[in-house]
Copies of this chain bind each other. A is one copy, B any other.
Amino acid sequence: MLAENLKRLRTARGWSQEYLAHEAGLHRTFVAHVERGMRNISLDNIERLADALDVTPGSLLTPS
């Protein structure tokens, strides 16, 4: 869920993983791992990614 939403929202904005990571104050490899479902991400980081993408945290965990 989160992985798919993150990739969809990021690519819809034409952003690289690096750009999203920079906007969210995270490391590029961390974003890459989240998009591959390889991370048990924390709420704080879900909120950081949501803020960077200007969406709600809940929407990142909701089927699109």
Looking across the interface, which residue of chain B has its beta carbon closest to that of A37?
A: B43
By size class, the interface of chain A is 10 to 19
Q: Would you call A14 an interface residue if the criterion is a C-beta within 8 Å of the partner chain's C-beta atoms?
A: no
Q: How many copies does the complex hold?
A: 2
Question: For window 1-54 of chain A, which residues contact chain B by CB distance below 8 Å?
Answer: 1-2, 40-44, 46
Does A40 lie within 8 Å of B43, measured CB to CB? yes
Beyond the given pairs A40-B44, A42-B42, 20 more chain A to chain B contacts, judged by CB atoms under 8 angstroms and listed by A's residue number, are A1-B57, A2-B43, A40-B42, A40-B43, A41-B42, A41-B43, A42-B43, A43-B43, A43-B46, A43-B61, A46-B61, A56-B61, A56-B62, A57-B61, A58-B58, A58-B60, A58-B61, A58-B62, A61-B61, A62-B62
